[in-house]
Amino acid sequence: MAAKALNIEVGKRITKVCITEKRGKSFAVSDSFAFVTPEGCVVDGQIVSEITLGDKLNEELAMRSVSAQEVYFSIASSKIASREISIPAVKDDQIKSIVTTNASDYFPVDVSKYSIDSVLLERTPEECRVLVVAVPIIIVDSYIALADYVGLTVKALDYSANSQFQVLKSIRGGEGVDMFITIDADSSSVNFSENGNLLLQRSLPIGGDEMIVRYMGQKEMADDEYIEALRKLRAGVKEVTSENPEESGEETADVVEITDEDKAEESGDADSDESGEEPSEDASEEPAEESPRDNYDPFGYGDDDDDDSAKVIVDDVDLTDSLLKLVAGLSRSLDFFRGANLEKEIGRVVLMGSCAHLEGLKEAVEKEIGVGTYWLEEMEDIQGLANSIGDISVYIGCLGSRMAPMDFLPRDYLVAHGGSKKKALNDQNFGYFGGAVCVVLALALTAYSLGGYLYRNSKLKKTESEISKLEYAEKEYQAYLSYTAAEGSINTFVDTSVNVNSELKAFFEEMEEKMPSDISVLTANCTLESISMSIETSGFDEAANIVSAFRSFESIDVIQVSNMSRSEGDGLSLVSFSIICNYPVPETEPETTVEETTAAEE
């Protein structure tokens, strides 16, 4: 049997664990579970008490008789910086060196305190589109300390958004862009992808925690009952029916392949079971109605026998209002995407994550965004993945960390634990080989030079004599180069001085003069053609006044306003919306006018 490894995603509220093992060229998930993260162990992605968390992890592993020596961590934190860049088309093994060399240009921080890695998103003949991620070294060290305490070897530290992307990129959507939304307890992320190509990633420092905590307060539940509260608030998921029973995915309820390289082999095994050659006793004896999709519990707590069902949550205004900030944040992410991709339309919205099934959330997202919204398990084109272990969307942040992880581990740790010992030896051997080659080449060149030394010496003297006679020509040539360079600089200055973005100063001056005092500009994205802003104000009347003021601006030509949403909290009522302001397109004089003027002058 292949050695097992742990895939772990540690959150402030919930820690999720998958047990994976390699099978051929792919990886399979043999088990998964989640437990409540001990209070105060994690602060914004950093593990601050590896002993307390390590004891809890050992306890959970012992309960399930899980033994493993390796771990793959998937980390998420607001302190992690990410940026998409474009570089000239180079080989894959050259990308990281380019990124590392120019890291200080990408992030306005002290890069010596960060571990930096990159992943290739898209390649064209002209350029490579690359996602660069910087993780604070203090966070990296905290995960290494946890692994050392538990007795595990860290094989990779992956960025949670990359883990999700590695699983989702194999999905080829239909028309339009897929908006994948991962909602966890204390954070959310949004991936916009088109036919497996990542277009944009956004992270939000808000999740389902507010609704869960309010519910726990109403029911007077203890902190260690957090997952129990989440389970009670989950909406049921009905199984996607199919005319062909083989497509339901129930045959592989205990194992899921997290890469698609061996799908042919897996489908062959499933066909043999259906044909009756080697039927599974468990499959034949267990009635299908005893494990429906809407009773599956991804957190391992079993069915809920209480009458306290999540169905009553819909009528609880206090709880449903707690979702408004989350939904408004998702809407602003969509507005930001549309501002940068005016020609692209969203085809569908897919929800996943530990809090994706909160009662009323799906309906609220669909109403706010205005696009068909589904749970990951409901998508027919990913049934082979989603139905394999029930609600695999809860653990999607863990799964990709073993497929193609980014790696933020320090080199000395990898060498000490054998992770890159072979690579280090190869690098050292390559250095020795390169040095030997240089020595051989130097000797060969020296011998060649000695052979023609006398001849070259005579030629040199003759050439020096000719150069002395042509010194005046060199001075004239240098003067010509100087004039040419000056002319090029002037032309470049003239070309770059005319810029649509020169209207930006006039735009902000008009904002300062015409905008009311209670406007709050949350974000602003300035391009050569437009300005996109997310705005909050105290009411709909104030929002209408702001839009009216924008329409009077002389520095902009066209504005686009998103749907306005109201959110309430701490006694305040805020109205949020996004606006896109396009600069006027300068008119150009027809060429005929210039020709007529020239002719008249002549």
Question: Residue 136 has what DSSP assignment?
Answer: E
How would residue 247 be classed by pLDDT, with cut points 50, 70 and 90?
very low
State the average pLDDT over residues 255-276. Answer: 41
How would residue 502 be classed by pLDDT, with cut points 50, 70 and 90?
low
Residue 317 neighbours by CB distance under 10 Å? 8
pLDDT at 441: 53
- Is pLDDT at 262 greater than 60 in this prediction? no
Q: What share of the chain is helix, strand, coil (3-state, %, to 5)?
A: 50, 25, 30
Domain locations along the chain: 172-236+293-378, 429-466, 503-582
Nearest 5°: the CA angle 382, 383, 385 is 70
How would residue 137 be classed by pLDDT, with cut points 50, 70 and 90?
very high
- Is pLDDT at 403 greater than 70 in this prediction? yes
pLDDT at 379: 74
Q: What pairing do the DSSP bridges indicate for beta strands 46-47 and 42-43?
A: antiparallel
Ranges 113-127, 185-199, 301-315, 402-416: which has the least confidence: 301-315
Please report, as a single letter, which amino acid is at residue 332.
R
Angstrom distance (rounded) from CA 406 to CA 30: 23
pLDDT at 265: 38
State the average pLDDT over residues 125-148. Answer: 93
Q: Which of 155, 172, 114, 191 is nearest to 403 (CA)?
A: 155
Angstrom distance (rounded) from CA 179 to CA 369: 11
pLDDT at 103: 87
Mapping DSSP to helix (H, G, I), strand (E, B) and coil, where does residue 66 land?
coil
Buried-state track 128-148, b at ≥16 Cβ within 10 A, e below 16: bbbbbbbbbeebbebbbebbe
Lookup result for tokens 């104000």: 537
State the average pLDDT over residues 480-509. Answer: 69
State the average pLDDT over residues 358-378. Answer: 89
State the average pLDDT over residues 333-360. Answer: 88
CB contact at 8 A, 142 and 77:
no
CB contact at 8 A, 239 and 227:
no
- Is pLDDT at 270 greater than 90 in this prediction? no
- Is pLDDT at 565 greater than 50 in this prediction? yes
Q: What is the pLDDT of residues 154-210, one digit of tens each?
A: 999 998 888 888 888 777 666 788 899 999 998 888 989 888 788 888 888 889 998
- For residue 26, what are its two tokens? 């792919």
Residue of higher predicted confidence among 308 and 113: 113
Buried-state track 426-447, b at ≥16 Cβ within 10 A, e below 16: eeeeeeeeeeeeeeeeeeeeee
- For residue 553, what are its two tokens? 């601006």
Question: Residue 556 has what DSSP assignment?
Answer: -
Residue of higher predicted confidence among 309 and 572: 572
- What percent of the chain shows pLDDT beyond 70? 71
Ranges 245-254, 389-398, 461-470, 575-584: which has the least confidence: 245-254
Q: How far is CA 579 from CA 200, 253, 425, 550, 562, in A?
A: 19, 47, 56, 9, 6
Q: What is the pLDDT of residues 419-469, one digit of tens each?
A: 544 444 444 443 444 444 445 455 656 656 666 776 777 778 778 777 776
Measured over the CA atoms of residue 467, residue 471, residue 472 and residue 474, the dihedral's sign is positive
Residue 49 phi/psi, 5-degree rounding, is -140, 80
- For residue 243, what are its two tokens? 């005319």
Query: Under CATH, to which class is 503-582 assigned?
Result: alpha beta
The helix or strand, by DSSP H or E, that contains position 359, with its residue range, turns out to be: none
Q: Which of 42-56, 164-178, 290-304, 369-383 has the highest mean pLDDT?
A: 42-56
The per-residue pLDDT of the chain, averaged, comes to 76
Count helices and strands in the chain by DSSP H and E runs = 21, 21
pLDDT at 437: 42
pTM of the model: 0.61
CB contact at 8 A, 512 and 505:
no
Q: How far is CA 571 from CA 213, 317, 516, 568, 574, in A?
A: 18, 15, 22, 7, 10
Residue of higher predicted confidence among 57 and 238: 57
Residue 288 neighbours by CB distance under 10 Å? 11
How would residue 504 be classed by pLDDT, with cut points 50, 70 and 90?
confident
pLDDT at 524: 85
Instruction: Write down the CATH number for the domain with range 172-236+293-378.
Output: 3.30.420.40
Q: Is 424 exposed, middle or buried (0-12, 13-18, 19+ CB in 10 A)?
A: middle
Farthest CA pair distance, the chain: 105
- Is pLDDT at 272 greater than 60 in this prediction? no
Angstrom distance (rounded) from CA 103 to CA 133: 10
Ranges 66-75, 119-128, 456-465, 577-586: which has the least confidence: 456-465
How would residue 562 be classed by pLDDT, with cut points 50, 70 and 90?
confident
CB contact at 8 A, 261 and 166:
no
Q: What pairing do the DSSP bridges indicate for beta strands 188-194 and 114-123?
A: unpaired
pLDDT at 261: 43
Q: Which of 167, 200, 189, 186 is nearest to 351 (CA)?
A: 189
pLDDT at 498: 53
How would residue 144 be classed by pLDDT, with cut points 50, 70 and 90?
very high
pLDDT at 299: 63
Angstrom distance (rounded) from CA 446 to CA 257: 60
